[in-house]
Chains A and B, each alone.
Chain A
Amino acid sequence: MSRRSHLALGWLWFKGRVRLMARTPRTTFFTFVFPLILLVLLNALNDSKVEVLGGRIRFAQFFTPSVAIFAMTTATYTAIIFGVATAREQGVLKRVRGTPLPMSVFLGSWLASAVLTGIVSVVGMFAVAIPVFGVHVYPDLLPAAVVTLLLGGVAISAIGLAVASFVKRADGAPIVANLTLFPLLFVSGVFYPIESEPEWLQRIARFFPLSHLVQAFDACFSPFTTGSGFSARDLAALAVWGAIGTIVAVRRFAREALDEESGHSGRRLWEPTTVKHSTARRSS
């Protein structure tokens, strides 16, 4: 007879989401297999050393953490935009709004499960790269790596939620997710060291959060990194981006609560009220 706390509800939904992801093969493919193929192919094709992170290091030592961030990004940012857009189109968000389940708990547990998938995916990358490509992990830098990965995962998920709040139709989700993510992947130092880019491109790249996540995480696997490996400036940038994403997402999803929902597909378009409504929404 008592009301469950947000945390208890969130934990229940988090467990449900984790079960759900384990049984959705499509998600598994994109989050685990695709980055793994990239990891194996590019590491196998490229045995040279690269100038990055304060010295010359083996390509695999640079590329493995970078592609791990790519895996984290697809598990969080991309998956959330796809998932939330689909959920909206199928009326799941509308359903949640009609129940006492707080939208923040519903989306927050989604975010947490996405970050967990990302972490599993990252661990998987290293599980392959350490024995196969001789990638080194430095125990002193591991705490920094874990913190960076967690903060980055949460920040990028929050941005994903903010972006998803603007995606009204499921078929728009791949376009929005890929168009925003792919250019950034290329300029943010995932595939090439960011230092090799022209100055102007670096400046653009460093504005966005992805380059900060890649830089901060890569540094945790560089033999030239001194100290604990925490990149304060990059982490601060990620925190700011994460906060912006959270604020935008919270505001957008709260405002959607009344009168913006229910425009999803399958709505009876011959009902004048509905047609009128969707027109009003587009023009606003």
Chain B
Amino acid sequence: MSTAEALGQVQAAGTGGRRRMSSPLEHGRNRPTDPPIDRWPEATAGGDPRRMTSNGSVEEAIVVRGLHKRYDDVAAVAGIDLTIARGEVFAILGPNGAGKTTTMEILEGYRRRSSGDVRVLGVDPESGGRALRERIGIVAQESGVGQDFTVRETIELFSAAYPDPLPADDAVELVGLEDALDARVRALSGGQRRRLDLALAVAGNPELLFLDEPTTGFDPSARRRSWVLIENLRALGKTIVLTTHYMDEAQNLADRAAVLARGRIVAEGPPESLAGRENGTAVIRFRVPAGLEPRALPLVGIELETDHDRYVSVRTEHPTGILWLLLDWASRRGEELEGLTVTRPTLEDVYLALTAEGRE
């Protein structure tokens, strides 16, 4: 990618209008070792000192510009721009085949990209080598360990290559695998294996964690426990990039999420406002008070959907006004509106709408 193209994409990204936790392009990078980033017009030297880590590296954990990955003529990733700040928990959502894992594997250094610019902790993952891998932890979708090592041996063998690893006891405690510390890998259940994957990723005490569907196959309580783990890791200032099929996971964990469909980002933002969720059509639902017809309600000219058991619902872009009418009416009459709820589209609703074309 030429500098001009890079600039074009940076500007496009900067004016995209999507809400972001932070707009990293406005903050300083003064490291002469990163030419493409350094030459961006928004980059100004200095800036907020908190945005620089102690070793002087840039504030962004991950910067992706114009990323493409083609296999023969099929584009698995068709132009992705992404900026993930340090300390952020970022979720990548999307149906199977949308390019999530390909994107993750490019960021992790497992795959070459066809074109585009990628910086992970300030370096190109294709050539980052051992120095970069000391600073990242990976839970890949499928990566094994020797079946006949114990959990403790596995953690100690792999974490030995990191400069500042956690003791095996701490790593298993973080993921709730204490009881299996001396069990062989062969004897672990599927969920325990996945927790071992997590333990191995955190045992190296990395700055940045890639979690590719980390809780797939977990029972609900194990899933909740791993959420606590991810919250704890966030509290330690780790950057976390995760993919998931569980919308509640993204909702609960992620500061920001991106939805991928057919190799492109179709929406990006905090889960609570993704794709305009917070301004989308609201549904007000309640039970019509006993002895009244829906016609008696103060909602003249507003379409009501009647439901079973005297429930009615109103779809509206302006829930505040309608609620005011309704509540004023009810309180004057001394009626209780049973079962009153106001709901916005869930993350899952938004997700399904965004990815619908991709599914066919």
**Measuring CB to CB, which residues of chain A are less than 8 angstroms from any residue of chain B?**
1-4, 9, 12-13, 16, 19-20, 23-24, 87, 90-92, 94-95, 97-102, 105, 258-259, 261-262, 264, 266-268, 270-273, 276-277, 279-280
Question: Known interface pairs A98-B108, A258-B110. Does A277 touch B71 (Cβ–Cβ under 8 Å)?
Answer: yes
What are some 20 contacts across the A-B interface (CB < 8 A)? A3-B163, A13-B157, A16-B153, A87-B144, A92-B144, A92-B146, A94-B140, A95-B145, A97-B109, A98-B110, A99-B138, A100-B204, A101-B160, A258-B112, A259-B111, A266-B142, A270-B97, A271-B96, A272-B76, A277-B71
Band of interface residues on B: 35 or more
User: When the two chains form their complex, are residues B71 and A20 in contact, meaning their CB atoms are under 8 A apart?
Assistant: no
User: How far is it, in angstroms, between the C-alpha of A262 and the C-alpha of B144 when the chains are bound?
Assistant: 11
* Other 14 A-B pairs with CB < 8 A, given A97-B109, A276-B76, A280-B72: A9-B160, A87-B146, A98-B140, A99-B161, A99-B204, A101-B158, A102-B161, A258-B112, A258-B126, A259-B110, A261-B110, A262-B111, A271-B101, A273-B102
Chain B 126-154 interface mask (CB, 8 Å, partner A; 1/0): 10001101101010101111111100010
User: When the two chains form their complex, are residues B96 and A268 in contact, meaning their CB atoms are under 8 A apart?
Assistant: yes
A198 CB, nearest partner CB in chain B, Å: 45
B residues in contact with A277, CB < 8 Å: 71
User: When the two chains form their complex, are residues B140 and A99 in contact, meaning their CB atoms are under 8 A apart?
Assistant: no
Q: B139's closest neighbor in chain A, by CB?
A: A98
**Residues 48-95 of B contacting A (Cβ, < 8 Å):** 71-72, 74, 76
Q: Residue B97 contacts which of A9, A94, A258, A271 (CB distance < 8 angstroms)?
A: A271
Q: A267's closest neighbor in chain B, by CB?
A: B142
CB of B105 closer than 8 Å to a CB of A: yes
A residues in contact with B112, CB < 8 Å: 258-259
B residues in contact with A267, CB < 8 Å: 142
**Measuring CB to CB, which residues of chain B are less than 8 angstroms from any residue of chain A?**
71-72, 74, 76, 96-97, 99, 101-102, 105, 108-112, 126, 130-131, 133-134, 136, 138, 140, 142-149, 153, 156-158, 160-164, 200, 204
User: When the two chains form their complex, are residues A273 and B146 in contact, meaning their CB atoms are under 8 A apart?
Assistant: no
Question: Known interface pairs A258-B109, A271-B101, A276-B71. Does A20 touch B144 (Cβ–Cβ under 8 Å)?
Answer: no
B40 CB, nearest partner CB in chain A, Å: 27
User: When the two chains form their complex, are residues A2 and B76 in contact, meaning their CB atoms are under 8 A apart?
Assistant: no
User: How far is it, in angstroms, between the C-alpha of A91 and the C-alpha of B197 when the chains are bound?
Assistant: 12
User: When the two chains form their complex, are residues A262 and B105 in contact, meaning their CB atoms are under 8 A apart?
Assistant: yes
